[in-house]
Amino acid sequence: MTPERHAAIRKWMRILHHDIGFFVLSLTLIYVCSGMILTFRDTNFLKTLIPVEKTIQPGLKGKELTAALRLKRMKILSEDEESVRFSVGDHEGGRDCRYDRASGLVSYTLLDYPPALQALNGLHKTASAKVRHWFTLLYACCLLFLAVSAFWMYPPRSRQFWRGTGLFALGLFFAGFLLTM
């Protein structure tokens, strides 16, 4: 490849790296925040008690109720002709959960993130059945481009290029170390 051609490619890579970097900056900040929150999802950090009341099919028994509600860590505590008492999770708010068999009214309390944080965390857990998964794939491709295009920021014989290559190798080593932990 001629030096002029190489310089032209490097120039376009720098321009694209710059523009795409600014485009994905706000998304990256959102993913950083939700990623840090999800790191503590096994704790009660930023979670609040959310009361839920809804009406479902009346006359369900314990196992049918469990299947209808599909709640994580739901346990049937007691059943009688009028109601089913159950707990959800292992938090204080899960003690007074009730299902009225005659009316189908269910009332329980969940310990979960507020709706705004649920929306943020939903970006990390987007399923392929949702339309927005195309957006998350585009975002991932942009990040991949930013990572690879960094090698076109400096000429291959320059000191900055070899410093960047060394930092890349160091990052690769730490990534491998994290995967083996």
Residue (of 111, 49, 54, 58) closest to 84 by Cα position:
58
Whether residue 36 is found in the same domain as residue 53 = no
Residue that terminates a domain, selected from 97, 112, 127: 112
Whether residue 176 is found in the same domain as residue 141 = yes
- pLDDT computed for residue 46 by the predictor: 92
Count of domains for the chain: 2
pLDDT in tens, 118-166: 988 888 888 899 898 999 899 999 999 999 999 888 888 899 999 999 9
Whether residue 36 is found in the same domain as residue 124 = yes
Whether residue 162 is found in the same domain as residue 129 = yes
- pLDDT computed for residue 104 by the predictor: 94
- pLDDT computed for residue 142 by the predictor: 95
- pLDDT computed for residue 95 by the predictor: 64
Whether residue 8 is found in the same domain as residue 23 = yes
Structure tokens at 144: 């991949």
Q: Which residues of the chain fall below pLDDT 50?
A: 93
Residue that terminates a domain, selected from 112, 139, 158: 112
Residue that terminates a domain, selected from 112, 132, 167: 112
Whether residue 19 is found in the same domain as residue 57 = no
Whether residue 75 is found in the same domain as residue 88 = yes
What is the extent of the structural domain holding 88?
A: 48-112
Whether residue 52 is found in the same domain as residue 91 = yes
Q: How many CB atoms lie within 10 A of CB 91?
A: 16
Whether residue 37 is found in the same domain as residue 123 = yes
Whether residue 108 is found in the same domain as residue 53 = yes
Residue located via tokens 């994905």: 24
| End-to-end Cα distance, the chain | 43
Whether residue 53 is found in the same domain as residue 106 = yes
Whether residue 63 is found in the same domain as residue 95 = yes
CA 18 to the chain's CA centroid: 26
Residue (of 56, 167, 44) closest to 108 by Cα position:
56
